[in-house]
Amino acid sequence: MGKNDPFKNAMRQLAEANEIISIDKNIYAQLQHPQRVLEVFLPIKMDDGHVEVFTGWRSQYNDARGPYKGGIRFHPDVSRSEVQALSAWMTWKTAVVNIPLGGGKGGVAVDPKKLSDRELQELSRSYMRAIAKFVGPNLDIPAPDVYTDPRIMGWMLDEYEKMFGAHTPGVITGKPLSIGGSEVREYSTAQGAVYVLLRAAEKLGLAKNSTVAIQGFGNAGSFMAELLERAGYRVAVLSDSHGTICNYMGLKVAEVATHKKNTGSVSGYSGANNEGEKHCLEHEVDILIPAALENSINAENVNLIKTKLIVELANGPISQEAEKVLNRKNILIVPDILANAGGVVVSYFEQVQNASGYYWKKEEVLTRLKEIMDLAFDEVWKEKEKNRTTMRLGAYTLAVRRVEAAMKDRGRN
């Protein structure tokens, strides 16, 4: 995703998909804009007594298939354009896995690491107060995203319920288990990615003990490493912003996690070769999983990549130029809107459980997640074959057509 104007980039991707499927022109015109974007200014009394005003947004891109759905990001670089782009992506993501939700996204331009716990709680509550009239279990359901977590969701839920005077757990997902969260939610993104990875590996005839490199041993990447090791894969390369570690016999993921917990990085782990963080992409592995930042695979490093399969756990990790090179080399890419949709699928399960007041066991969540991810993979694969295109465009065309159908059925064309 280009840094300058993320929403323009999102619209370019839509245009590319539209070249293949040519949707109704009246619907296409509407999809050039979110349905609503809310901009809010949040005055917070800081610990030293002065008031600081933070800017936040909630973008509601499309609700034809169901209530808007998408996380809230707290990051200094958050902008209106980025939030809008992410809300469009959420619309395609919920459509590609065919859950009855639309797409939205929220954010506040803030560096949460610089806030005290009290200031962070005040900001979270203040953001929820500002958007409360525009969210709800049947309207728009936020969730965690970059630098927001279950604790913040708990504060926001509490604020919402105080305002409206009733328990409404379904207004927000990614909550702690004690107040209506779902089993599996914590590692749902990685689990969903594992299910589609297994499907893709089967298509390519990759063996169960294939080698894997994961760029970014953070929240999503570390769960992915653990799950793949458990499934019999050889996790050979792991990296974070400090360095890369490599052992082709297979790293011991739990030991690496303990090392990272103690030292703050995977670097320095004794059971591996230690290298700089950039070297992660250079290793010859069967499967590469970008799980760090946007555009981490770009024109500068794409030629170093030697792999057969890329599963995008991160959002937008491959630049447009790099993607062209990878496609030419016939490297299969499972795109982000499919590969990391497990998180939003389990968010949807959380809502369903909240609505019925009846909570599922872990096994039930996993079975239902697998069913949805497997079906979505197969449908995207079929679409890719039918249009003789990439999996990314297959996922986009499938998703955009689903949104188009819902808009038509509502008479919005």
Say whether residue 335 binds ligand NAD (CB under 6 A): no
Q: Are the beta carbons of 102 and 35 closer than 8 angstroms?
A: no
Return d(Cα 332, Cα 392) in angstroms, integer. Answer: 10
The residue within the footprint of ligand NAD, chosen from 240, 323, 350, 383 (CB under 6 A), is: 240
Q: Are the beta carbons of 100 and 403 closer than 8 angstroms?
A: no
Which phi and psi (to 5°) does residue 86 adopt? Answer: -65, -30
Distance between start and end Cα atoms, the chain: 29
Stretch that binds ligand NAD, among 18-26, 98-106, 286-294, 385-393 (CB under 6 A): 286-294
List, by residue number, the catalytic residues: 105
Return d(Cα 413, Cα 408) in angstroms, integer. Answer: 6
Say whether residue 218 binds ligand NAD (CB under 6 A): yes
Q: Which two tokens stand for residue 165?
A: 């005077």
Return d(Cα 227, Cα 151) in angstroms, integer. Answer: 25
Say whether residue 343 binds ligand NAD (CB under 6 A): yes
The residue within the footprint of ligand NAD, chosen from 189, 210, 211, 397 (CB under 6 A), is: 189
The residue within the footprint of ligand NAD, chosen from 214, 289, 313, 332 (CB under 6 A), is: 313
Query: Shortest gap between Cβ of 280 and ligand NAD (angstroms)?
Result: 6
Say whether residue 216 binds ligand NAD (CB under 6 A): yes
Q: Which two tokens stand for residue 261?
A: 């917990």
The residue within the footprint of ligand NAD, chosen from 62, 191, 307, 315 (CB under 6 A), is: 315
Stretch that binds ligand NAD, among 121-129, 194-202, 287-295, 324-332 (CB under 6 A): 287-295
The residue within the footprint of ligand NAD, chosen from 135, 201, 253, 292 (CB under 6 A), is: 292
* Cross-strand pairs, 39: 57
Q: How far is CA 7 from CA 2, 94, 324, in A?
A: 9, 18, 21
Place of tokens 């793949």: 228
Q: Are the beta carbons of 184 and 346 closer than 8 angstroms?
A: yes
Query: Shortest gap between Cβ of 220 and ligand NAD (angstroms)?
Result: 4
Stretch that binds ligand NAD, among 217-225, 301-309, 325-333, 351-359 (CB under 6 A): 217-225
* Cross-strand pairs, 237: 213, 246
Say whether residue 217 binds ligand NAD (CB under 6 A): yes
Say whether residue 263 binds ligand NAD (CB under 6 A): no
Return d(Cα 252, Cα 254) in angstroms, integer. Answer: 6
Say whether residue 323 binds ligand NAD (CB under 6 A): no
Say whether residue 348 binds ligand NAD (CB under 6 A): no
Residue 123 or 297 having the CB closest to ligand NAD: 297
Question: How many residues at the interface with ligand NAD, by CB under 6 A?
Answer: 22
Return d(Cα 231, Cα 216) in angstroms, integer. Answer: 20
Q: Are the beta carbons of 372 and 352 closer than 8 angstroms?
A: no
Say whether residue 319 binds ligand NAD (CB under 6 A): no
Say whether residue 137 binds ligand NAD (CB under 6 A): no
Say whether residue 20 binds ligand NAD (CB under 6 A): no
The residue within the footprint of ligand NAD, chosen from 85, 220, 326, 345 (CB under 6 A), is: 220
Return d(Cα 149, Cα 155) in angstroms, integer. Answer: 10
Stretch that binds ligand NAD, among 38-46, 148-156, 268-276, 291-299 (CB under 6 A): 291-299
Query: Shortest gap between Cβ of 266 and ligand NAD (angstroms)?
Result: 8
Say whether residue 191 binds ligand NAD (CB under 6 A): no
Return d(Cα 329, Cα 303) in angstroms, integer. Answer: 10
Q: Is 296 exposed, middle or buried (0-12, 13-18, 19+ CB in 10 A)?
A: buried
Residue 147 or 233 having the CB closest to ligand NAD: 147
Q: How do strand 51-62 and strand 68-75 relate by DSSP bridges?
A: unpaired
Return d(Cα 220, Cα 391) in angstroms, integer. Answer: 22
Say whether residue 221 binds ligand NAD (CB under 6 A): yes
Query: Shortest gap between Cβ of 43 and ligand NAD (angstroms)?
Result: 28
The footprint of ligand NAD (CB under 6 A) covers: 146, 189, 215-221, 239-241, 277, 280, 291-293, 313-315, 340, 343
